[in-house]
Chains A and B, each alone.
Chain A
Amino acid sequence: MIWKARLSYYKRQVYFNVNSQGANKASWYLILPSALLAASCLLPLAYLGLRAMQADPVVWQILWRPKSLEALWHSLLLTATVTFSSVIVGLTLAWISVRTNIAGRKAWSIILALPLVFPSFVGAYTFIAAFGSHGMIANLLGIEKMPSVYGFWGAFMVLSLFSYPYVFLTVRAALSKMDPNIEEAARTMGKSQGAIFKDIILPQLNPSIQSGALLVALYTLSDFGAVSMLQFDTLTRMIYVQYESSFNRTGAAFLALSLVAITIIILLLNRALRSDRVVKSSASGKIRPPRMLKLGRWKIPALLLCIAILSLGLILPVSVIVYWMLEGINNGEFLYGGFGIITNSVLASILAAIATIAFVIPSSRLQTKYPGKLANFTENAAYLSSALPGIVIALSLVFFSIHALPGFLYQSLAVLVFAYMIHFVPHAMGCLRSSFENIDPNFECAARNLGAKESQVVKSITLPLLKPGVITGAALVFLTCMKELPATLLLAPTGFDTLATRIWSATEEGFFARAATPALCLVLVSGLSIWIILSQEDELLS
């Protein structure tokens, strides 16, 4: 196989280059922010350790019983299945919307990311309202008995539907900037489309699939909204019950630490699956647009798939929200305005996205360029507390910020943004890592050899190549912050309402009509931002 030999020769060359670079020492402006970020992300763990040490024997009674083991099993089962289905759906849809001639390709490639905007409790609510017995679908079709939406299948469906966009977005970015030269070469050597996908494209997509899948797994582990609505007992739900009914912070701490243990297993698995070396772009400057695959007889099935996912993940929840609104208007409910608080949501989320990116860039640069103990530590630290439910992160920061910071910082926007950052660092880190991995160090070397100063190299070579990763990462952080609830409730400045807190406070007491306006605002604002962000990313690449 000549082409395979070439590929491995090519890989080896890159490998050699990367290693020869590692000899340099990382400078302080990479190390300092990376270390700060790592230390910040370890704060929730320190808090949990502190609380767990105060445990009294009754805690063991709670922890060692069949129900806890069942919850552990449920968490593992749900995480594995949701991650798997999200990868399948996300990868397929990204492939269809970037590399085929499907009708309305451009629009699909943006619309299919939109289910990400729904907080999972809203997703679960709408799912129950639609598919529950005597729900909207049952009434529409006149069916008396519907299969139950509660339990594993409901939680699995809802979480998959609303978190596959993590994979979709990361893979989409990787696909659109993938160098078509290698697959063209394989094609000229007579490889079939299937073989090209398996041997050339999939390995190149691997880092982005991995980072998307990791986000889905962490999100599923930490989710409370969907599992509580759909009555599926996971570790996270048990943690909330501990806080809810006994104000038992030590029992909750132990359960949370077991979530951390699962995170470690997932991270190890993720490392093992991460391919040893990555194929780098050989293209200088602009990448040629890749060849579009003609769908042929697959045209209709592909279109149907997109439409099905769109209906379940976007049209359905939006229609349920509109239905709430109309129902409320019918009964003379006063519709709460959600407009004034849009700025609060957007401000906090944008600040969080900027702060996160600012710290993650040096950190992932350190990880990719200077692999070693320090780099490993900073990466692991960033992920360890990311599967913790929001309430744990929030309480740990309540604890630290009131006892360690000057009074005026407590319940300030700064602390809220900080909480968002340490909670959602992985959202940006995966994207930026794979972006850095895809930058051919030869470019930077060449520039240096031609006498460019380091700052010039960074400015004119590294940053432009990094831009798509930065955009995707910032977008993921932004969108996730827009729907964050527990940390916002406890840490935001007093009176600082966001769209998510408004939706929560209305649905919590059954005022669905009042939840409608802020929910629609959330969908519109987040949807619009996805639209702008992705169009910009596409422009960058074309």
Chain B
Amino acid sequence: MKKVITLLLGLIMAGSLWAESLTIYSGRNENLIGPLVEKFKSESGIDVHIRYGKTAQMAATILEEGKKSPADVFLAQDAGALGAVSKAGLLQALPEKILAKVATRFKAKNNNWVGISGRAFVVVYNTDKVKPEDLPKTIEGFTAPEFKNRMGWAPGNGSFQAFVTAYRKVHGDAAAESWLKGIDANATKQYPKNTPILAATGKAEIDLGFANHYYLYRFKAEQGEDFPVAIYLIPEGEIGPLVNTAGASILKTARNKAAAEKFINYLLSEDAQKYFAESTYEYALAFPELSDSRLPTLDSIRTPDLDLSDIDDLEGTLILLQKAGIL
């Protein structure tokens, strides 16, 4: 009997050693990253288990799981979620080899996460209703009364809150609050997230809105090139378009560190970066030159002078948004 059990245990252990496996929690949508994961699976022979969900809920799940989390890798849509998990002490430092692939402004100071792809938070406008030359040169210009009843935003959305957090870092809470109140005073319509803003701008339900750049190209791919919306990059002022990143991290409790590193390496490879650039219209952070030619180049986007790791104080932004009576 004992022998049989030993044999069985041996077999099970041998089996688990033989099949290298990797568990990923992904806040990144399956439609955006699924094909890449499949490709990695077949190329590396690693058995990948991936759970999809909303970034914030995935982060909350990891926080609840604590040290018992079955996840090896956490992929997030934005730097804030990675910051929150990192603050709880659940992430480990990534190897230099991986970190070196991406510019300093797109990774964590404490080396706990690395940016994979970037998106610019921009102004989108309906080309039938708005001429770009009539748009203000600074973000503050949108508080002018001429924009009353014409704009849309998603103050509950992570991308927007990251933008406000950056604003707070650069100009302080008081200025951020008065900007928010100014936009709100223009009877700006609230949307739950970016896609409805794009749809509403396309239908001229609103003339312009604040959203991530890539949604525009995705709408064009689905609804045709004549979708009447274009991107406006704010040319002046200290706060221009903010480039936020989707990033990857390895949990401290990861059981398969080697496989996890392999996966993140793959996400930063030319192949995968090309995929992001072509299928999701994001900026390829490890190979910026691969980004879609219709986009303004990454270097030409003036981002606020701050580190993305510093804009994980979404909680402070939330309180500010609530104080301003917006959320």
Q: Which residues of A contact B (CB under 8 A)?
A: 58, 61-62, 65-67, 128, 132-135, 150, 228-229, 231, 237-238, 240-249, 327-328, 331, 333, 391, 394-395, 398-399, 402-403, 407, 410-411, 486, 489-490, 494-495, 501, 505-506, 508-514
Contact = CB atoms under 8 A, between A and B. Distances in A.
Interface string B72-95: 000000001100100000000000
A247 B218 contact: no
B57 A243 contact: yes
Given A241-B318, A245-B314, A490-B57, A132 B205 contact: yes
Interface stretch (B23-31, B101-109, B172-180): B23-31
A495 B315 contact: no
B198 A61 contact: no
A61 B50 contact: no
Interface string B158-179: 1001000000000000000000
A328 B222 CA distance: 6
Interface stretch (B11-19, B60-68, B115-123, B294-302): B60-68
Interface stretch (B130-138, B188-196, B234-242, B261-269): B188-196
B195 to A, nearest CB: 4
B7 interface: no
Contacts of B322: 62, 65, 67
B29 A327 contact: no
B75 to A, nearest CB: 14
Contacts, number: 143
15 contacts: A65-B322, A67-B327, A132-B205, A231-B192, A244-B157, A245-B56, A245-B317, A247-B59, A248-B315, A331-B221, A486-B57, A489-B53, A506-B31, A508-B54, A509-B195
Nearest to A515: B31
A133 B158 contact: no
A132 B203 contact: yes
B130 to A, nearest CB: 16
Contact of A133 (B59, B191, B205, B222): B205
Contact of A489 (B52, B81, B191): B52
A505 B30 contact: yes
A512 to B, nearest CB: 7
Nearest to B202: A134
Nearest to B220: A331
B161 A231 contact: no
B98 interface: no
Interface of B: 23, 29-32, 49-54, 56-57, 59-61, 63-66, 68-70, 80-81, 84, 156-158, 161, 189-193, 195-196, 198-200, 203-205, 215, 218-219, 221-224, 314-315, 317-319, 322-323, 325, 327
Q: Which 9 pairs of residues, A with B, have the shortest CB-CB distance?
A: A134-B203, A246-B315, A510-B195, A489-B53, A494-B49, A247-B84, A228-B192, A244-B56, A245-B318
A512 B53 CA distance: 18
Contacts of B219: 510
A490 B69 CA distance: 12
B205 A134 contact: yes
Most buried by B among A245, A399, A403, A495: A245
B253 to A, nearest CB: 12
Contacts of B54: 244, 489, 508
B61 A495 contact: no
Contacts of B63: 247, 249
Nearest to B164: A245
A395 B60 contact: yes
Nearest to B218: A510
Contacts of A489: 51-54, 57
Contacts of B195: 508-510
Given A62-B322, A398-B64, A494-B50, A391 B204 contact: no
Nearest to A410: B70
Given A58-B319, A495-B50, A508-B195, 4 more contacts: A245-B56, A402-B65, A411-B70, A510-B199
